[in-house]
Chain A
Amino acid sequence: MSLPDNSRTDISSFWNDTGKTGIAAWIFSTDHKRIGLLYFYSVLGFFLTAVGLGLLLRIELMAPGRTIMGPQTYNALFTVHGVIMIFLFIIPGFPGAFGNLIMPLQIGARDVAFPRLNLFSWWLYMIGAAIILTALFTGSGPPDTGWTFYVPFSSRTGTNVSLAVFGVFIVGFSSILTGVNFVTTIHRLRAEGMTWRRLPLFVWSLYATAWVQILATPILGITLVLVIAERALGTGLFDPGRGGDPLMFQHLFWIYSHPAVYIMILPAMGVISEIIPVFSRKPVFGYKMIAFSSLAIAAAGSLVWGHHMYTSGMSDTAILVFSFLTFVVAIPSAIKVFNWVATLYKGSISLEAPMIFALSFILLFSIGGLTGLILGAAATDIHVHDTQFVVGHFHYTIFGGSGFAFFGAMHYWLPKFYGRKYAEKPALIAWGLMFVGFNITYFSMMVLGMKGMPRRYYDYLPEFAPLNLASTIGSWLLAAGLLLLMVNLFRGLFRGEPFTGNPWGGATLEWSTTTPPPTENFEEEPVVTHGPYDFKGTGIP
């Protein structure tokens, strides 16, 4: 990474203020901003890799029958696409990249509570990622179980599951340490006057996320250990032939993996709660309820894992209870959506790239959320379970939701750290391409699912051909938009117009320090005297 050509060398920034040189100044740095950028470029690299795999999957599904790959390759590709997207991109993405970059600045701290532990988290993440990648190219072929590693197949398949599972275990450990670090930081290092009621909503969402990371990830850890033991030692705990029960694996797996979807979406909602008031020039509507709903989603979301298992053979009572609890989670999610929309009402809205991404988040996430209720209701779920409908639904929430929020955060916050900005017009064109491409790709999938096309098959009946072709063409639009977005953003960060002061007009603390921020964030210890969205009190016109 080269230093951005920053004309403002008179002010020391975190880019040049370091004792070490070269790569060591990055990979051994304990500065939260440098670690944040390390995370950012790592997760972005994995994201783009998995996007490539996704495009290959879509090309295979372009026409019925074998198009470019056989069934075993297809199985391996969707497994790897899922494992990378989930464990290496979207779970570490928000806390690791933007949580590290922004959270200490927003609470007025010089760094996180445990800077060395923070660096260790990134190292663990990279080690885990390296192990996962090794698993793809060694042994008897990449894992073909799907990212869910369901037994009994995962305990019997000859592919390299154990190593991949061990890599995911390490990445999970990294996630736990980040969670521990963030909860401690938010409790201990808030600046004077930064009361809980003045905490920016992005920090609230990270706080809720960190608790989910702490409380849910260990269950994934033990589940993965059990899968490895099943394969290596023959413990038979999930083997019905030896008294075990595969359903217990599904319970343990989803006890983590459902709350994990809130690790993916909660910080994204936090980003939206930052962008919308700034670009509407209005204090956020219902601050307390948005903060509270983050905690409510984290709490209620921990009790709904069974809705992944309606067709697995649970009792009807269990299905009813899980279905009810699933609908309960929709309430705090809807609270957020209504509050964002109410914030827009009579606001002075400026449609710049971060705002456009935030607005499309609201639409796409709402579609994802409402289709989630179709899956959450037991009766309708039976019809669409394990179909392309599910694939469409979770891409609407995780890609249309978290992904678009991630792009919004990139346009909103990265200029702050580079002191330069992307060009507005290409950013909007890129967004347009992505928005149209996204909807064609994934809405087609939902319709296909409703018609009965199962997920995870490399082949399908001829009657599904037209919509699959549409979906594949949509994926190319999406990829073209993504490419334009990346080129424009990074060209702008390194060569674009200077970005100084507080051009967006944000009232949170990160905009009160110099751009790019100095190593210890603030020249003087900030004293907070107003709320995070009190634009008048901050003196922003």
Chain B
Amino acid sequence: MSQPQHRDHAGATLGMWLFLFTELILFGGLFLLYAVYLARYPHEFSVGGKELNVVFGAGNTIVLLTSSLLAAMAVTAVQRGQQRATAILLGGTIFCALLFLGIKYVEWSAKIGHNIYPGSIRLRTGPPGESVFFSLYYLTTGLHGLHVLIGGTLLAFVTVRVQQGKIDSTNYSWLENGALYWHLVDLIWIFIFPLYYLIL
């Protein structure tokens, strides 16, 4: 068989896509619960949804879409052999990730300040559907936030390797897979945003 250090770029990408399916299905469980409980408590969900701040949600959507664009541009840059541009674009993506988490922090703090969190007195004594809505909201956005953190860390690791020259135009599977993961984080948010902030 070929050289001992053979690289299978297509194989690495296939593996990453398979892994991304598993991530989608992980969130699928929460979306399933959302669908069932929305059908059971349409009124409470609508009341809960109106409490969420569309400005924060829309702002975060713009931040994430921008970050995804920067990640895609980084992949193009590395294919063209522009190492410096790649690192800068990745830096931009990571900055957006941090900005997203910052906005999320402010948003959650405000909610918790209003005595809305799983097991809070307000939710314990309020209508059951609202407790379900906000529990789902915290779990879904929390799990998504965790993925933002993981994706950002992964991209930081990739950036270091780009600067060390270990990732270049001949070998960029790590960068491409990191970017794919980042697009997944973005994609999931594209579903979370309308379901929680817009349609209710």
**Bound complex: CA A525 to CA B14 (Å):** 24
With both beta carbons as reference points, the residue of chain B lying nearest to A191 in the complex is identified as: B1
Given A218-B23, A243-B132, check contact A235 B119 (CB 8 Å).
Answer: yes
B118 in contact (CB, < 8 A): yes
26 residue pairs from A and B, CB less than 8 Å apart: A180-B19, A184-B11, A184-B14, A184-B18, A189-B11, A214-B18, A215-B21, A215-B22, A215-B25, A218-B25, A219-B28, A222-B27, A223-B29, A225-B139, A234-B118, A234-B119, A236-B119, A236-B135, A241-B128, A243-B37, A243-B41, A243-B127, A243-B128, A243-B131, A244-B132, A252-B29
**One of B18, B128, B135 near A183 (C-beta < 8 A):** B18
Nearest-CB distance from B166 to chain A (Å)?
15
Nearest-CB distance from B37 to chain A (Å)?
8
**One of A215, A236, A245 near B118 (C-beta < 8 A):** A236
On whether the beta carbons of A235 and B22 are closer than 8 Å, the reply is no
**Bound complex: CA A179 to CA B32 (Å):** 24
| In the complex, per-residue mask of B91-106: 1 if CB is within 8 Å of any chain A CB, else 0 | 0000000000000000
Give the A interface residue count (CB, 8 A): 39
Interface residues of B in 8-64 (CB under 8 A from A): 8, 10-12, 14-15, 18-19, 21-23, 25-30, 32-33, 36-37, 40-41, 44
Interface residues of A in 323-360 (CB under 8 A from B): none
8 closest A-B pairs by beta carbon, nearest first, are A243-B128, A234-B119, A222-B29, A235-B135, A218-B25, A218-B26, A188-B11, A243-B132
On whether the beta carbons of A188 and B118 are closer than 8 Å, the reply is no
On whether the beta carbons of B21 and A242 are closer than 8 Å, the reply is no
With both beta carbons as reference points, the residue of chain B lying nearest to A249 in the complex is identified as: B33
Residues of B close to A241: CB separation below 8 A: 128
Residues of A close to B12: CB separation below 8 A: 114
Nearest-CB distance from B107 to chain A (Å)?
18
On whether the beta carbons of A218 and B14 are closer than 8 Å, the reply is no
Interface residues of A in 504-528 (CB under 8 A from B): 520, 525
**Bound complex: CA A229 to CA B136 (Å):** 11
| In the complex, per-residue mask of A225-266: 1 if CB is within 8 Å of any chain B CB, else 0 | 110010001111100011111001000100000000000000
**Bound complex: CA A522 to CA B134 (Å):** 58
Among A187, A218, A226, A243: residue with most chain B CB under 10 A: A243
A29 in contact (CB, < 8 A): no
On whether the beta carbons of A248 and B8 are closer than 8 Å, the reply is no
On whether the beta carbons of B14 and A187 are closer than 8 Å, the reply is yes
Nearest-CB distance from B192 to chain A (Å)?
14
B124 in contact (CB, < 8 A): yes
Interface residues of A in 441-476 (CB under 8 A from B): none
With both beta carbons as reference points, the residue of chain B lying nearest to A223 in the complex is identified as: B29
Residues of B close to A225: CB separation below 8 A: 139, 143
On whether the beta carbons of A110 and B28 are closer than 8 Å, the reply is no
A99 in contact (CB, < 8 A): no
Residues of B close to A525: CB separation below 8 A: 1
On whether the beta carbons of A188 and B14 are closer than 8 Å, the reply is yes
Nearest-CB distance from B72 to chain A (Å)?
23
Residues of B close to A189: CB separation below 8 A: 8, 11
**Bound complex: CA A245 to CA B129 (Å):** 11
**One of A180, A226, A229, A236 near B22 (C-beta < 8 A):** A180
Nearest-CB distance from B25 to chain A (Å)?
4
With both beta carbons as reference points, the residue of chain B lying nearest to A185 in the complex is identified as: B11
Residues of B close to A217: CB separation below 8 A: 22
Residues of A close to B8: CB separation below 8 A: 113, 188-189
On whether the beta carbons of A242 and B29 are closer than 8 Å, the reply is no
With both beta carbons as reference points, the residue of chain A lying nearest to B23 in the complex is identified as: A218
Residues of B close to A134: CB separation below 8 A: none
Given A113-B8, A243-B131, check contact A214 B36 (CB 8 Å).
Answer: no
**Bound complex: CA A248 to CA B32 (Å):** 9
**Bound complex: CA A459 to CA B92 (Å):** 65
Nearest-CB distance from B175 to chain A (Å)?
17
**One of A214, A219, A520 near B29 (C-beta < 8 A):** A219
A376 in contact (CB, < 8 A): no
With both beta carbons as reference points, the residue of chain B lying nearest to A176 in the complex is identified as: B22
Among B118, B123, B136, B143: residue with most chain A CB under 10 A: B118
On whether the beta carbons of A184 and B36 are closer than 8 Å, the reply is no
With both beta carbons as reference points, the residue of chain B lying nearest to A173 in the complex is identified as: B22
A498 in contact (CB, < 8 A): no
A128 in contact (CB, < 8 A): no
On whether the beta carbons of B36 and A181 are closer than 8 Å, the reply is no
Nearest-CB distance from B171 to chain A (Å)?
16
Residues of B close to A184: CB separation below 8 A: 11, 14-15, 18
Residues of A close to B127: CB separation below 8 A: 243
On whether the beta carbons of A188 and B10 are closer than 8 Å, the reply is yes
A221 in contact (CB, < 8 A): yes
Nearest-CB distance from A178 to chain B (Å)?
11
Given A113-B11, A237-B135, A237-B136, check contact A180 B18 (CB 8 Å).
Answer: yes
On whether the beta carbons of A114 and B22 are closer than 8 Å, the reply is no
**Bound complex: CA A229 to CA B117 (Å):** 12
With both beta carbons as reference points, the residue of chain A lying nearest to B25 in the complex is identified as: A218
Residues of A close to B33: CB separation below 8 A: 237, 248, 252
**Bound complex: CA A162 to CA B128 (Å):** 25
| In the complex, per-residue mask of A149-162: 1 if CB is within 8 Å of any chain B CB, else 0 | 00000000000000
| In the complex, per-residue mask of A64-103: 1 if CB is within 8 Å of any chain B CB, else 0 | 0000000000000000000000000000000000000000
Residues of B close to A113: CB separation below 8 A: 8, 11, 15
Residues of A close to B11: CB separation below 8 A: 113, 184, 187-189
Among A110, A181, A215, A242: residue with most chain B CB under 10 A: A242
Residues of A close to B25: CB separation below 8 A: 215, 218-219
Residues of A close to B14: CB separation below 8 A: 183-184, 187-188
